């Protein structure tokens, strides 16, 4: 289950998802709509969290981005100059895999593509501290 909060960006039409799988539009942007109307897996209509329920085989590595209100087939409204990525993991009870709610236009704990979390920030801080000594 892909979920993204619109964050500080208004959504004139809809948020969409595009990725490297047929279910996600095979890299054809603004063709796979997310929902914020309480249907098709969306938990609460109008809460500014847009949802897309995808059925993908376990083990699939998905690369994707979100777009905001662009024309179908056009790379308009891209949220970040960064490809998001996830690997589908089979859930023990067969339930859907819920991803964390992401925020349009924001990556959490992203120092750069090599230091992607708090550990990366610690490495950078240590290098800066060592350089200042």
**pTM of structure:** 0.78
Q: What are the domain boundaries of the chain? A: 2-107
CATH topology of domain 2-107: Immunoglobulin-like (2.60.40)
Comparing CA positions, the residue from 38, 111, 109, 102 lying closest to residue 65 is 102
The pLDDT profile of the chain, 133 residues, written as one tens digit per residue, is 999 999 988 999 999 999 999 999 999 999 999 999 999 889 999 999 999 999 999 999 999 999 999 999 999 999 887 889 999 999 899 888 999 999 998 877 655 555 556 676 777 788 889 999 8
Sign of CA pseudo-dihedral 63, 68, 73, 78: negative
């Amino acid at each position: 289950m892909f979920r993204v909060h619109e964050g500080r960006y208004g959504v004139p039409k809809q948020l969409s998802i595009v990725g490297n799988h047929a279910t996600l539009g095979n890299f054809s942007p603004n063709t796979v709509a997310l929902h914020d109307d309480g249907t098709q897996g969306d938990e609460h209509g109008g809460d500014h969290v847009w949802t897309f329920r995808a059925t993908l085989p376990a083990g699939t590595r998905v690369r994707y981005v979100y777009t905001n209100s662009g024309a179908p087939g056009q790379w308009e409204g891209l949220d970040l100059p960064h490809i998001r990525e996830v690997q589908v993991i089979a859930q023990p009870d067969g339930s859907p895999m819920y991803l964390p709610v992401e925020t349009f236009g924001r990556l959490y704990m992203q120092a750069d593509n090599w230091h992607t979390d708090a550990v990366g920030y610690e490495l950078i801080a240590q290098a800066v501290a060592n350089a200042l000594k």
